[in-house]
């Protein structure tokens, strides 16, 4: 297995407080790695350590086959990043900023500048200084700058912040293109779980500075997470019917009115028929599946197992 | 390194500095000439003294200009967080900071030399017309003064680096510039009988301090976390 990024026991302490604890993450070549965690969980600090902006207190980082040290400068040329928020020389135009970036990176194909601006769909910005840009525009420009030199590894911290829904869709597609067509490896942090769910190949969940889970989306999707959600004012009787008439044991009571049925064999038609025959009113009944959000939230709360459903008896 | 110096100079856009320096030269010349002309022969007794006062004024002004350069080249990068971008480039942090300090000190050295020469030349040109200061300006006097100018300019360029110590503590442009003003005032005190600014060891010692502070800042930069 080729890992582009591998950390072991990565720890960062600020003023005696561990903000990142013993993080061992593994990012495979060419994949999109979604980095999930609530605010203050340590995502940005980990990303800053990967880009050498923050020095680890202990632990090791291996990037693109090299151990990252205080003197690892060359490797930074193969990493594109946008961490925390897009930072630019605000009085310069987008073009001037990207030109400067090329010069510092030692990248001479300046024709690429227009190409990346087109890729992120940033238009009519010719002579405007960056300080006049909206957050969404800066975000697009930040992504353009990060991908300008075709890095092997792209590290983006909350890249869709400030983008409108159309912008989010465009950038999502761009990430897929960068991963699939350009072979870039992407590490993307976000708190918008739906977004990560749609694009990531692997997710890493960080809580209180600890990486609590690192799992491929394929295996998350493969889990038995489909269920039928039934809303009825007569919950007790409904439970009785489910258990004794339909022999369904794998269900869970969510609140006074809602029941989740996890039994894969249970058909919606059979359930509704049995309930109606027993004069049990149905307010709604829908087939759903546990989203990454549920899974993620359960990880944050520290009970991953329950997210996959389990039958609570009435 | 040369390429780095080029990029940094290009990024900084030197126009404001050149305009500021020219303007400052006119102000220094105008002020000194006005004082000399209105006060007459009481102001400067000798040509040597005139050179000393011109040099002192020029150095005091451009040490402060030097602090503005440090603030623009280094402190503002930390303050505006653009250092977060700079440090993700495949460029040695030490080299980057050293290049910025070299630009600040180098520009200060060159500007002091040119300004000193220009203000002195203009001043003595005016004097040759109005004849306020007694004595004759000889070639040996000029060459001796030129040598002094170089040594003092070197001292002043090094001194202009001292504020990096104060500026880097909290990444404050104000602390950088205020410390340079204080240093300028301290080393420029002059009275008819005695002048601190005539003692070359003072700026040279301060230059050594400036170089030590710069060295420490450069050595430390590789290990620091940037937020």
pLDDT digits over A302-313, tens only?
Answer: 654 443 333 333
| Closest CA in chain B for residue A56 | B225
Bridge partners (DSSP) of residue A258 are A231
| Residue B186: closest CA among B205, B172, B213 | B205
Gyration radius (Cα) of chain A, Å? 24
Residues from chain A that touch B91, judged by Cβ atoms under 8 A, are 73, 104
| Residue A192: closest CA among A51, A28, A43 | A43
Interface test with B, best of A66, A92, A104, A144 (most B CBs within 10 A): A104
Nearest to A87 among B81, B92, B223 (CB): B81
How far is A261 from A241, CA to CA, in rounded Å? Answer: 13
Residue A70: phi, psi to the nearest 5? -60, -25
**Alpha helix positions (H), A41-134:** 43-50, 94-105, 112-119
CA A65, A70, A76 angle in degrees (round to 5)?
A: 50
Task: Tokens for B85, please give them.
Answer: 């971008």
A88 touches chain B (CB under 8 A): yes
Gyration radius (Cα) of chain B, Å? 19
Residue B45 pLDDT: 67
Are B80 and A90 a contacting pair at CB < 8 A?
yes
Sign of CA dihedral A208, A209, A214, A217: positive
Sequence length of chain A is 314
Query: Is the pLDDT at A106 greater than 80, yes or no?
Result: yes
ipTM over 0.95: no
- A 92-131 → B contacts, CB under 8 A: 100-101, 103-106
pLDDT digits over A256-290, tens only?
Answer: 888 888 877 778 888 888 889 888 889 988 887 76
pLDDT digits over A217-252, tens only?
Answer: 877 766 656 788 889 998 888 888 888 888 888 888
Sign of CA dihedral B77, B82, B83, B89: negative
Q: Are A260 and A309 in contact (CB under 8 A)?
A: yes
- The percentage of residues in chain A with a pLDDT greater than 90, rounded to a whole number, is 30
SS3 sequence of A235-255: HHHHHHHHHHHCCCCCEEECC
């Amino acid at each position: 297995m080729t890992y582009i990024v591998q950390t072991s026991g990565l720890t960062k302490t600020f003023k005696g407080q561990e903000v990142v604890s013993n993080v061992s993450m593994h990012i495979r070549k060419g994949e999109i790695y979604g980095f999930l965690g609530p605010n203050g969980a340590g995502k940005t600090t980990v990303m800053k350590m990967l880009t050498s902006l923050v020095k680890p207190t202990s632990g090791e980082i291996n990037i693109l086959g090299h151990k990252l040290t205080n003197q690892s400068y060359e490797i930074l040329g193969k990493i594109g990043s946008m961490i925390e928020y897009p930072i630019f020389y605000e009085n310069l135009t987008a073009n001037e900023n990207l030109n400067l970036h090329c010069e510092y990176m030692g990248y001479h194909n300046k024709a690429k500048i227009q190409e990346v601006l087109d890729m992120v769909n940033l238009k009519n910005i010719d002579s405007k200084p960056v300080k006049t840009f909206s957050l969404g525009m800066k975000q697009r420009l930040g992504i353009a700058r990060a991908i300008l030199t075709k890095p092997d590894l792209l590290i983006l911290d909350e890249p869709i912040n400030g983008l409108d829904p159309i912008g989010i869709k465009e950038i999502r597609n761009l990430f897929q293109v960068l991963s699939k067509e350009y072979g870039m490896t992407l590490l993307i942090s976000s708190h918008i779980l739906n977004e990560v769910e749609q694009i990531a190949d692997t997710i890493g969940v960080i809580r209180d500075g600890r990486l609590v889970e690192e799992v491929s989306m394929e295996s998350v999707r493969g889990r038995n997470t489909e269920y039928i959600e039934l809303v009825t004012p007569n919950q007790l009787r409904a439970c009785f019917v489910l258990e004794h008439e339909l022999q369904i044991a794998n269900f869970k009571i969510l609140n006074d009115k809602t029941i989740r049925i996890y039994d894969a064999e249970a058909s919606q038609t059979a359930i509704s028929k049995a309930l109606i025959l027993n004069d049990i009113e149905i307010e709604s009944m829908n087939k759903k599946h546990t989203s990454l959000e549920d899974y993620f939230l359960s990880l944050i709360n520290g009970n991953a197992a329950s997210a996959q459903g389990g039958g609570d008896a009435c | 390194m040369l390429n780095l110096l080029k990029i940094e100079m290009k990024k900084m856009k030197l126009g404001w500095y050149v305009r500021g320096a020219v303007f400052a030269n006119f102000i220094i010349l105008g002020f000194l000439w006005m004082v000399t002309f209105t006060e007459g022969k009481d102001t400067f007794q000798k040509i040597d003294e005139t050179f000393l006062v011109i040099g002192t004024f020029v150095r005091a002004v451009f040490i402060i200009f030097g602090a503005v350069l440090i603030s623009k080249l280094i402190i503002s990068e930390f303050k505006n967080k653009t250092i977060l971008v700079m440090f993700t480039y495949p460029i040695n942090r030490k080299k980057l900071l050293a290049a910025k300090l070299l630009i600040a000190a180098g520009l200060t050295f060159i500007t002091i030399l040119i300004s000193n020469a220009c203000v002195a030349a203009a001043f003595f040109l005016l004097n040759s017309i109005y004849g306020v200061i007694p004595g004759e300006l000889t070639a040996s006097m000029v060459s001796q003064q030129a040598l002094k100018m170089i040594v003092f300019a070197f001292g002043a360029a090094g001194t202009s680096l001292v504020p990096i110590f104060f500026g880097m503590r909290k990444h404050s442009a104000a602390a950088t510039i205020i410390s340079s003003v204080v240093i300028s005032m301290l080393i420029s005190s002059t009275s008819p009988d005695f002048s601190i600014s005539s003692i070359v060891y003072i700026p040279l010692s301060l230059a050594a301090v400036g170089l030590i502070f710069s060295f420490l800042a450069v050595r430390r930069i590789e290990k620091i976390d940037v937020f």
